Amino acid sequence: MQLNSAERNNSKAKLAQKIKKEIQEEYHRQASFLRERSDFCQELEYFLEIFSLPVSPQKVKKRFSRPFVGIYCIQAPLELFDALGFHPIRLCSGSLAIQRLSSPFLPALTCPLIKSCVGAFYLDESIEKLCDILVVPTTCDWNTKLPEMIQDKAIPFYIMELPHIKESERGQSRWLEEIYELKRFLEQCAGRRLNRSQLQISVNKYMKAWQAFGRLIEFRRRGLICGTWSIVLANAFMIDDVESWTDKVNIVLKNYDKPEGNSNPGVFLAGSPVFFPYLKISELIEEAGMDILADELCTSERLIASVIYDEPSEYGLLKALSERYHLSCSCPTYIDNDRRLKNILNTMRTYNIKGIVYHLLKGCHPYDLESFYFEKVIKENGFRFLKIETDYSREDRQNILARLEAFRATLC
C-alpha cells in the first residue's frame, strides 16, 4: 500500500513523537537513578537539569541566550567561540532511544555515539534549529564521515582537518592554520573581528574552569567524590556556560561530603567516551564494589586542559590554543600517542590503582585497536586489565557485572 506524502509525514511525526517520549523517559530514568543515589546532594541537581537539552532544546537555548555552535570531539577551541560571542556545546549523545531514528540508514556496527549523534538530527526540535554552526574535527573515521551522513540537513558545517601526527612541525603548523581558518570563518559568522583582549578574557574563564576541574579531579582521586558524579559534572561542562559551571562546581566541592568512607579498590576507567544518560559502565563498576578513582575519557578528565600563553599577541594566543587542543589531547586517533599509556601507568602508580577497566563501545575502532597493546603493556607492568565491549543497550548488564565482580576479586 502506497502512503501519500501527507500520511507519510503524519506517521513520521508520530514516530518522532513516540521516540521523543522514549528519550524523555530515558533521560528522566537516568536522572532519577542519580537522584536516588545515597551521595546525591542538592547542589548536584543543577547539573542534572543541564542534560535536559536534547529533551527540550528550546528551553536550554533560552537559558544560554547566545548563538550556539555545535561541536563534536574536543579539538575545537572553546575559547575562540566564547570570545566571538558563541556558546559552544558538544553534541555528543548517550541516548539509546534516539538511535532508533538513525539506525535504519547507518551500518549496524556504527559506533553508538555516532548513531545517537546522527539520530539527534532527526528529532523534531533538531540540532538544525538549535545550532547556527557545526564544527567537526576529523578525529576518527566516524566523525570524518559524520557530515556526509547528515548532508541533507541545511546547517553550515565547518570541518577541521586534524593532523594525526602531533609531535612534528608540520602537524603543529597545519593545525595552527586550521585554527586560523576557523577564526576567519567564525569572524565572518559573527560579523566582527576577534578582539585580543576578549580572547584573553575567555581563556581566563576557561582557565578558571580548569582550576575547578583540577580540584574536582583531586577530590575524586582521594575518593571524596565518586567517579559517576565526576563524570556527570564533566559531561555538564560540555553543554553548560563555562562561568556558571565553574561556580557550581566550586559550590559542590565546597559543600560536598561523601556519606561514608569505604575502602573499595580503585580502578582506572579508560577507553571510549561515556556520556549522559549512558552511564552504565561507571554505575556498574561502582555496583561491583569499585571506585573509579581516575579516568581518561574524552568526556571526562581529558575534557579540560590549561591554556597557558606567554605571548598576549593574537598569534601567541591562537598558538597557545592550537597546542592546547592538539598536543594536550590524547585522542587515540593520533599516531604518536605513546604518552597516553605512560600517563595512565603513571597515574595508576601514583594513586595506587591496581586495575584498569577498558571500556569499549562496539564500533569504536581506534580504542579497540589500541586495547590489545594496552593490555599487553599494562599487564607487563603488573596491573590488572579488563576490557569490556558494549553498547548503549542495557541488556548485558548482568554479563558485565559478573565480569566486574570477578575483576574486583582479582584486585584484592
What stretches of 119-223 adopt beta strand conformation (E)?
131-137, 157-160
Rounded Cα gap, residues 174 and 171, in angstroms: 5
Rg (CA), the chain: 21
Work out which of 169, 191, 254, 352 binds another protein, going by CB under 8 A: 169
Q: Closest separation between CB of residue 372 and another protein, Å? A: 11
Closer to another protein by CB, 299 or 390: give it.
Answer: 390
Interatomic CA distance for residues 392 and 323, integer angstroms: 33
Residues pairing with 361 in the sheet: 390
- The yes or no reply on residue 58 touching another protein (CB under 8 A) is no
Nearer to another protein, 9 or 399 (CB): 399
Report the run of H or E that residue 68 belongs to, with start and end. Answer: strand 68-71
φ, ψ of residue 392 in degrees (nearest 5): -75, -15
Given CA atoms 328, 334, 336, 337 in this order, what sign does their dihedral have? positive
Task: Count residues near another protein (CB under 8 A).
Answer: 62
User: Residue 103, interface with another protein (CB under 8 A)?
Assistant: no
Q: Indicate the residue among 125 and 247 with the shorter CB distance to another protein.
A: 247
Site for another protein in 128-167 (CB under 8 A): 166-167
For residue 338, which phi and psi values (nearest 5 degrees)? Answer: -70, -20
CA distance 407 to 357: 9
CB of 219 to another protein, least distance (A): 13
User: 37 — phi, psi (to 5°)?
Assistant: -65, 155
Q: x-or-dash pattern for another protein, window 304-333, by CB under 8 A?
A: -xx-xxxxxxxxx-xxx--xx--xx-x---
For residues 368 to 397, the per-residue mask of contacts with another protein, x marking binding by CB under 8 A and - elsewhere, is -----------x----xx--xxx----xx-
Q: What is the DSSP letter of 293?
A: E
Footprint of another protein (CB under 8 A)? 166-167, 169, 172, 176-177, 180, 196-197, 200-201, 204, 207-208, 211, 214, 305-306, 308-316, 318-320, 323-324, 327-328, 330, 338-339, 342-343, 345-347, 350, 362, 379, 384-385, 388-390, 395-396, 398-399, 402-403, 405-410
